[in-house]
């Protein structure tokens, strides 16, 4: 896997909307993200033709979104690409991407959720990308950026490697509505973090290439089977997985893992990193409540692993995905999971 060149202060970076057109609806949130990109990290954001287009325009023009992605990879002055936000239709962009041009011009790509689609394409092209930190969520975090997230961004994108990662001391899945600009100056409620939960780790140390993303997006790819790697390329990889604000039921999560097993994919992995699930969205909670929802999701995965005889080292509630603060996961990068000492290293 090719690791794109690291960033330096003063670098130009593309800011694109490869999924939903939310900068057009919430410009105050988007502009806060741009400000932090410049002031906190010393980068020079470059907007492209579709970056601020409306959701309707972007939905009607997947090729226009792809044209901007192609142009960003081809532009030698652009050193990285940051997604503004996720969405639900980025798969429509993939057929229009110039895979040869992208492969010949590897660059840092940052984003998560629906951006799983682009991470898959880059993985297939042999390019490491970074799962996490959308501009309008982590960079535009209300109040201020979380120090844990900011440190992860610096280590992943500016330094040689993330190295060892640790659980955040606190976490949140709270949403503050974007339609009220006053919320930009508030802070989300934080909860104490009880740490990561280790399963089937006794006496195990695994290393492998990371592959994964958002469960709901991967579930779509299991149906389509157009952009998934060949099964042999997934041999001895480590699956990283998280669920979105859709808050899938434990039954859905179990069936997802059952499908992975029936397709012969689950057996290819050496280990699992599971992000802490988001358990509320804009004031809506699962019927069983937050704590039970999080526990039930982990239990569903453990049950599927047992039923399909997959004795995988698994770490639950890792700090990535749709909760905050976040670790940037190097998709295509290497990970070492030490079950003996309960430590995780990204290389």
Q: Tell me what the mean pLDDT of segment 96-104 comes to.
A: 98
pLDDT tens-digit map of 163-209: 999 999 999 999 999 999 999 999 999 999 999 999 999 899 999 99
Give the side-chain half-sphere CA count within 13 A for 96: 16
**What sign has the CA pseudo-torsion 276, 297, 204, 218?**
negative
Domain residue ranges in the chain: 12-140, 165-346
Does an H or E element contain 274, and which?
A: strand 271-275
Helices (H), 54-115: 55-60, 62-74, 99-104
Q: How far apart are CA 16 and CA 66, in angstroms?
A: 10
pLDDT value of residue 215: 98
- 334 CB-near residues (< 8 Å, 6+ apart): 207, 208, 209, 210, 346, 347
What letter would DSSP give residue 60? H
pLDDT value of residue 98: 98
pLDDT tens-digit map of 261-320: 999 999 999 999 999 999 999 989 999 999 999 999 999 999 999 999 999 999 999 999
pLDDT tens-digit map of 83-94: 999 999 999 999
Q: How far apart are CA 297 and CA 243, in angstroms?
A: 10
Q: How far apart are CA 2 and CA 42, in angstroms?
A: 25
Task: For residue 325, say if its preceding peptide bond is cis, omega within 30 degrees of 0.
Answer: yes
- Mean pLDDT of the residues in the chain: 97
pTM (2 d.p.) = 0.97
N- to C-terminal Cα separation, the chain: 12
- Predicted confidence band of residue 62 (pLDDT cuts 50, 70, 90): very high
The C-alpha angle 146, 152, 154, rounded to 5 degrees, equals 105
Residue 191: strand pairing partners: 171
Q: What is the CATH number of domain 12-140?
A: 3.40.50.10740
pLDDT tens-digit map of 235-246: 999 999 999 999
Q: How far apart are CA 199 and CA 289, in angstroms?
A: 23
Q: How far apart are CA 257 and CA 305, in angstroms?
A: 8
Q: How far apart are CA 134 and CA 214, in angstroms?
A: 14
Percent of the chain at pLDDT above 70? 100
What is the third-level CATH fold of 165-346? Glucose Oxidase; domain 1 (3.50.30)
Query: CB-based burial of residue 213 (10 Å sphere; 0-12 exposed, 13-18 middle, 19+ buried)?
Result: buried
pLDDT value of residue 161: 86
Q: How far apart are CA 157 and CA 129, in angstroms?
A: 10
Q: How far apart are CA 137 and CA 86, in angstroms?
A: 10
One fold for both 12-140 and 165-346? Answer: no
pLDDT at 160 over 90: no
pLDDT at 30 over 90: yes
């Amino acid at each position: 896997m090719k690791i794109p060149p690291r960033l330096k202060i003063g670098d130009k970076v593309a800011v694109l909307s490869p999924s939903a057109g939310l900068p057009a609806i919430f410009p105050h949130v988007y502009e806060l993200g741009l400000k932090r990109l410049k002031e906190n990290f010393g980068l020079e954001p470059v907007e492209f033709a579709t970056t601020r287009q409306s959701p309707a325009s972007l939905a009607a023009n997947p090729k226009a979104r792809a044209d901007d992605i192609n142009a960003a990879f081809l532009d030698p002055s652009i050193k990285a690409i940051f997604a503004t936000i996720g969405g639900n239709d980025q798969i429509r962009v993939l057929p229009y991407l110039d895979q040869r041009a992208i492969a010949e011009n590897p660059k840092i790509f940052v984003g998560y959720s629906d951006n799983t689609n682009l991470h898959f394409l880059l993985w297939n092209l042999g390019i490491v990308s970074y799962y996490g930190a959308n501009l309008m969520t982590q960079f535009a975090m209300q109040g201020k950026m979380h120090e844990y997230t900011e440190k992860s961004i610096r280590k992943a994108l500016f330094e040689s490697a993330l190295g060892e990662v640790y659980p955040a001391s606190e976490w949140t899945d709270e949403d503050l509505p974007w339609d009220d600009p006053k919320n930009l100056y508030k802070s989300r409620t934080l909860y104490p973090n009880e740490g990561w939960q280790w399963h089937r780790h006794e006496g195990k140390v695994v290393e492998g290439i990371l592959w994964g993303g958002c469960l709901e997006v991967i579930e779509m790819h299991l149906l389509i089977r157009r952009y998934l790697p060949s099964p042999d390329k997934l041999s001895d990889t480590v699956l990283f997985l998280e669920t979105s604000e859709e808050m899938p039921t434990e039954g859905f999560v179990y069936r997802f893992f059952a499908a992975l097993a029936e397709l012969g994919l689950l057996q290819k992995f050496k280990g699992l990193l599971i992000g802490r699930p988001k358990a509320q969205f804009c004031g809506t909670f699962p019927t069983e409540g937050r704590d039970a929802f999080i526990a039930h999701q982990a239990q569903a995965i453990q049950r599927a692993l047992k039923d399909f005889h997959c004795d995988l080292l698994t770490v639950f509630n890792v700090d990535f995905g749709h909760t905050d603060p976040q670790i940037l996961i190097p998709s295509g990068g290497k990970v070492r999971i030490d079950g003996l000492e309960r430590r995780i290293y990204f290389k």
